[in-house]
């Protein structure tokens, strides 16, 4: 994500524990630049995007979740995203 002027967008990063698992989350808004790399198409930016992400540290390894899209779409579905993050738990 980029802020106006092409600088990296600010991000809100939080660490918390959910169902006994360490979880790091990120929330950032700005211009979406897409995935980079040698096979990626020419770079173009899309304004008004938002990224929600999480790293859930589990006993068998980490789980990475990334939810990116137009800010209005992300806001309309944030409750679903939050329920997904809260659904992870340690094996019993």
13, 25 contact by CB (below 8 A)? yes
Task: Spell out the residues 6+ positions from residue 28 whose beta carbon is closer than 8 angstroms to its own.
Answer: 1, 9, 10, 11, 12, 50, 51
Can you give the residue ranges of every domain in the chain? Answer: 1-34+48-92
What band does 1 get if pLDDT is binned at 50, 70 and 90? confident
What band does 10 get if pLDDT is binned at 50, 70 and 90? very high
Which two three-digit tokens encode residue 7? 């600088």
Which two three-digit tokens encode residue 51? 């990224």
- Whole-prediction pTM: 0.86
Residue with tokens 């997904």: 84
80, 47 contact by CB (below 8 A)? no
Q: Judging by beta carbons within 10 Å of its beta carbon (0-12, 13-18, 19+), is residue 4 exposed, middle or buried?
A: exposed
Comparing CA positions, the residue from 23, 46, 48 lying closest to residue 34 is 46
For the segment 13-59, what is each residue's pLDDT rounded down to a tens digit? 999 999 999 999 999 999 988 776 666 665 778 899 999 999 999 98
pLDDT at position 68: 95
pLDDT at position 72: 97
């Amino acid at each position: 994500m980029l802020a106006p002027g092409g600088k990296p967008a600010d991000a809100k990063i939080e660490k918390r524990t959910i169902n006994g698992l360490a979880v790091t989350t990120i929330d950032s808004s700005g211009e979406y630049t897409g995935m980079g790399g040698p096979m990626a198409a020419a770079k173009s930016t899309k304004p008004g995007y938002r990224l929600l992400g999480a790293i859930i540290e589990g006993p068998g390894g980490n789980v990475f979740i990334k939810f990116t899209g137009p800010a209005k779409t992300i806001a309309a579905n944030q409750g679903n995203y939050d329920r997904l993050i809260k659904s992870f738990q340690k094996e019993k």
